[in-house]
Structure 1
């Protein structure tokens, strides 16, 4: 046995409560290394790079499985190891596209023996939630070349929604969303700057979606992911859509995963806000809300559980929004690589995944790491190179960076090819500032940005207001039309999108309606041709870790990425 991964101390903000109750079981995932190490990522870039002969010729599930398949020797060695420990073949299954062995319902006593581990119950000192993890585990030395990671083990990743503490506000005018220079409520959207509060009519004007109506309702789907067992309320959605969109038939499908819940009489604020703005932007496009629970006794992994489910589906939404994340430092590099690899599979299948950059600037608190050094704190899965990360802005004409917009550089992932020049330009401008506090060769976050402040939404029948980049990741169209031709974009407005997942869903709607494949993994297009559709943000910063943070400058920056998109301009860049 040789250590595969271990921490030299319990990760920050977690304390041990001792051994789990007798009889506690766990589902273990053994991630196997593929026979062809870079085959999946190479294929992903081929189908995602404009100008490549295979652009948007997305793969099938069978093709993806072939790219990630392990060596025959790998399966032989791992199965031999499991048999040696008396693990029945009936409790072992292949999952996640064929490169993961799932050991279902294993006792923790057996798991400790198998992995040389010591599973305990850990509680988060701020949030109070508990999980079952170990601070270290081992594998036979011969398996280190064949196994990427085993999960859940040492990754203390417990996602939470990326939004600020909600602030209650009484209901106000539907149209008076911003203040004029005189401070009086405005009834038209013209040359005002300070956003008082945000609702769908304002977003439709600001992000230039007024002239477009979705038509591919039978094929195009927008998915919204909820963790922590979160779920929305159809009554709150009705109140929201009735007031702001004059649409009383908006609905969504709920899929519960691993003990996820759905009691419409007791909804969660984050889920309500996400589904309301997703519906407001893409209605009448079908929506699916995934309520993912924690499973048994805190032994399950949120991200892996949801990814296992979604990758096993025959039909996956073309656009998926995720508002939850955790500090990257709480995930081992191997675990992060494994989860990120599954996001890459979604991209190869033609799915656009958008995630929040976080709401703590470059990091909360002192940001002292386990070695006693200050280090900025990017968030995961935002640091994964195969998702599109959305930062936050506020105000308009011009927009500026929201002070809480998450950003920075990954400690686990190298800078991807599509980012090289854009990020190098920023680093040259930054010079030696913050040298040693971040990984200058890491994947930069975010990719793009959008409004993230003062969103009106309904919760338990009451109208409220909140801020956060989770809103920027999920956004009312005109009434449905029978015109199935090329969308009219004659409305002359200068606009930038707020809810990026909604914008991408509209782009996918147009592609599908015209007989084309959806966008899939967005970033190579965004950093290339799509960059012409982005409004550069050059003001503001994201303070944290006792510093002023990074600044928004001309070009890409780790506060607002490449900037905020315009739907009309993005549609033009599809040709």
Structure 2
């Protein structure tokens, strides 16, 4: 699912002058531009400096995540990470000098702890003069969302290698309900009474435990932690949790997630539509039950008046991603503050496992912005956090807030064009989770001796749309070293089929998902009613729960958390159940990426087997 964005403009660097283009619109034709913005309207502008030593960070993460390395599991502290990526003061000086030449005094500038981000408040007329552009009011034709935005704008050529991107955002966003068609789960939920009990037709706690051999008796370790991200307005309901627990996990009746409120995060109870509660209810009903009695944290980001996003969450986790008063290294006096979204800064501790059942269209952002934010996930991995992200339910298309979206689609209906990758699943430093469903008895006769009775997730929604496991190849990120051989084998096996669609995807990109979990027909309670919910947003908290349990088992043995798990899994694929049948679809292709032996771009390496995964991770230092 995709919450609305606050990003208005971002940089794309080119030779010569550095050209900046509009960030938040996927297609300018979707926006109606009206009058120029008021010259005195306040904008919060954030200038992200190019990160230093990114290659060293990648090498370090791969080394400490390699199960054969003597440095396996030697995670870094936050201070170690900031020292690794720390900027030279001269980079800051050059940017501040540019601001000064435009009449912006250095006393108005704030610098992050890590020295890689400058933030300042500017009036529209100041920002327009600085960036040589014009800001306009515009309205999205489908959603009615309003924003201030610009077209192309520029920075000096001498700074093109020093600035990754620039964000400009209005400090106040008027709350507007997201239309129903913007929420993916709306088409994937059907009411049922009475609730089906057979595991071939619906998914319950007992089904998941039996299918993936998940134990019920793992005692939590006091240093373990498990967090689930939710954005503004999407909240779980206490009565729904209790009704679910009363049926499946009676010892949890009355228990609630711990709430980590970020940027005014709160538990919304005023909306009447069920879409605001289904996803959080699903996440916490299953995550709390599968890991009981482990405390589960609701990382609730964003207030009633402003949408929470990953940027804000990362800033809350890492003070080095935020602003700070002056530093002796830099001859600048800074007032106290934060980044361009006026965020909580370093207010939260990142959990050992973080589940994100939300995704954004990769094409909605500039490559520089995505690469930079992906490095923030790398930093979390360096510090020992496992980030688990769902792969989406539109197959090779994505949801841009108004339904299926494909690149270069002339129809605008998401039924043609090139495949549209999903972020942050496409980031190489997270673990992406795709979806499966149970093979029915009639299907098993044609299955080539599967190691599990699962096939790739594919389901008709109540609206007639077909949903299938997200998967494919990034247009921004290259295939990381840990998956190169696995992806090469897949392309060799599927060579003839992939040749038919080769013009629709980037063959050198990072492949996703990494793993898969059952995604169909989860029995949940929402607004007091039993329902069945489907999608990889259901798969995600299940896999995150499994990693949380393994972390507790390791910690009780005096070991650390597993951290970034992809290199371990790709070098030991036999701990997963290989999925051999099924395919995802999208952008007019019915059989896009097909499941096959080994890794594939619809079910990854396969579904989890807790016992085999546990034995592997317990054998590591």
User: Contact 2:23/2:365 (CA < 8 Å) preserved in 1?
Assistant: no
Matched, 1:321 2:325: no
CA contact (8 A) 1:95 1:308 kept: no
Alpha-carbon spacing, 1:434–1:459, altered in 2? closer, same or farther (3 Å) = same
Task: For residues 160-207 of structure 1, give each alpha carbon's deviation from its aligned partner in whole angstroms, at most 9, with x where no partner exists.
Answer: 76545243424535xx6316xxxxxxxxxxxxxxx3221212212222
Distance 1:8 1:354, change over 3 A: closer
Aligned runs of 1:175-574 on 2, under 5 Å?
177-178=197-198, 195-216=200-221, 218-247=222-251, 248-264=253-269, 266=271, 268-293=277-302, 302-312=309-319, 313=346, 315-363=349-397, 367-369=406-408, 374-396=417-439, 397-403=452-458, 404-431=468-495, 432-474=499-541, 499-529=542-572, 531-548=573-590, 549-574=592-617
Q: How far apart are residue 527 of structure 1 and its match?
A: 0.5
Question: Any conservation in 2 of the 1:319–1:505 contact (CA below 8 Å)?
Answer: yes
| Residues 536 and 554 in structure 1, CA contact (< 8 A), matched pair in contact too | yes
Deviations 1:381-411 (A, max 9, x none): 1111111000011115510001210011111
Offset, 1:349: 0.8
Please tell me whether the aligned partners of residues 35 and 69 of structure 1 are also in contact (alpha carbons under 8 angstroms). Answer: yes
- Where does residue 11 of structure 1 map in the other structure? 26
Call closer, same or farther: CA 1:10–1:107 in 2, change over 3 Å. same
1:43-54 matches, cutoff 5 A: 43-54=60-71
Are the equivalent residues in 2 in contact too, given 1:122–1:131 (CA < 8 A)? yes
| Contact 1:344/1:386 (<8 A) preserved | yes
Preserved contact between residue 23 and residue 364 of structure 2 (Cα < 8 Å): no
Q: Comparing 312-321 with 57-66, which one deviates more in the overlay?
A: 312-321
Return closer, same or farther for 1:463/1:8 CA change in 2, 3 Å cut-off.
Answer: closer
Higher mean C-alpha displacement, 446-455 vs 118-127: 118-127
Residue deviations 1:413-450 (CA, integer Å, cap 9, x gap) = 11100110111111122321212111000000110000
1:267-288 CA deviation, whole Å, 9 max, x = no partner?
Answer: 6221221122111211211111
Deviations 1:31-89 (A, max 9, x none): 21233341221221122111212211110111100111112221110121223334344
Q: 1:35 aligns with which of 38, 52, 61?
A: 52
Residue among 88, 93, 99 paired with 1:82 = 99
Are 1:165 and 1:466, in contact at CA under 8 Å, matched by a contact in 2? no
Query: For 2:393 and 2:608, how far apart are their aligned partners in 1?
Result: 20
CA contact (8 A) 1:319 1:351 kept: yes
Distance 1:411 1:501 in 2: 26
C-alpha distance 423-402 of structure 1, shift in aligned 2 (>3 A): same
Residues 1:309 and 1:170: Cα distance change in structure 2 (over 3 Å): same
In 1, the alpha carbon distance for the partners of 2:147 and 2:232 equals 12
Compute the displacement of 1:126 (Å).
4.2
The structural deviation recorded for 1:304 is 1.4
Count matched residues: 525
Worse-superposed segment, 254-263 or 402-411: 254-263
With normalisation by structure 1, the TM-score equals 0.85
Q: Distance between the aligned counterparts of 2:429 and 2:234, measured in 1?
A: 25
Shift of 1:97: 4.0
Q: 1:519 to 1:9 in 2, by over 3 A?
A: closer
* More off after superposition, 253-262 vs 196-205: 253-262
Q: Could you tell me which residue of structure 2 aligns to residue 146 of structure 1?
A: 162
Computed over aligned residues only, the root mean square deviation of the Cα atoms, in angstroms, reads 2.8
Q: Deviations over 1:323-373 (max 9, x none)?
A: 111111111100110110111111001000011111101116572428999
- The C-alpha deviation readout for 1:525-561, integer Å capped at 9, x for no partner, is 11113x2210011111111110121111111111001
**Shift of the alpha carbon at 1:128?**
4.2
Q: How far off its partner does 1:315 sit? A: 2.9
Q: Distance in 2 between matches of 1:11 and 1:62?
A: 37
**Number of the residue aligned with 2:131:** 115
Instruction: Tell me the distance in 1 between the aligned counterparts of 2:318 and 2:290.
Output: 26
Cα distance change of structure 1 residues 256 and 129 upon mapping to structure 2, 3 Å threshold: farther
Unaligned stretches of 5+ residues in structure 2: 1-15, 170-177, 320-345, 399-403, 440-451, 459-467
Q: Structure 1 residue 256: deviation in Å? A: 2.6
Separation in 2 of the partners of 1:102 and 1:545?
Answer: 40
CA contact (8 A) 2:240 2:527 kept: yes
Distance in 2 (CA, whole Å) between partners of 1:502 and 1:62 is 28
C-alpha distance in 1 between matches for 2:393 and 2:151: 27
Q: Distance in 1 between matches of 2:434 and 2:31?
A: 31
Distance 2:294 2:247 in 1: 19
Taking structure 2 as the reference length, what is the TM-score of the superposition? Answer: 0.79
- In 1, distance between residues paired with 2:374 and 2:349? 21
Q: What secondary structure is seen at the aligned counterpart in 2 of 1:324? A: coil
Contact 1:445 1:558 in 2 (8 A): yes
